[in-house]
Structure 1
């Protein structure tokens, strides 16, 4: 369950490095691929919930860092929802 960082480019061109306590993000995102905002958010929710559950299974408690990262993603995405053609690009995934 290695910590994983993934870099995304938001629809406004800004790039951000995101955190996951698990490599599960590599199961849901592909470097170089762009995702419509709604699809990205769905995948991010699944990834962070799975990551938190993996931590809970191993250590007996959910991962607050995964949930905090999801909160941050949801806040950032709120400004882009409803924009036709808005996409978020996964630039890199690294451990």
Structure 2
């Protein structure tokens, strides 16, 4: 499975390079600006789907995809209280 990375810019301007074990992430995230809740929903769905593809192929979930989701969720915490918080997906490669 081809590894795919996506770069996220958080509301404070900090950029984070994120990992997916599968290109399926491209079905959920494209470069652009997302309201925080929509970004989180799409990122969670993407990483869950990517882990599922690993499970289908190898018989076990991808712990790296699950760890990446946990990292994203933790990074989003400071912005949850900001009603208009937006996240930019800079690139998906």
Smaller-chain TM-score bracket: over 0.9
Q: How far apart in 2 are the matches of 1:49 and 1:25?
A: 9
Q: How far apart in 2 are the matches of 1:28 and 1:53?
A: 14
**TM superposition shift of 1:72:** 0.2
Note the residue ranges of structure 1 that are not aligned, 5 or more in a row: none
Q: TM (normalized to structure 1)?
A: 0.94
Partner of 1:36: 35
Deviation per CA, 1:24-74, whole angstroms, max 9, x where unpaired?
11111111x111111111111101110000000000100000000000000
Partner of 1:84: 83
Q: Secondary structure at the match of 1:17?
A: strand
Structure 1 residue ranges, 4+ long, deviating more than 4 angstroms after superposition = none
CA RMSD in angstroms, aligned pairs only: 0.8
Greater share of residues in helix: 2
Report the count of equivalent residues: 93
Q: Secondary structure at the match of 1:18?
A: strand
Partner of 2:13: 13
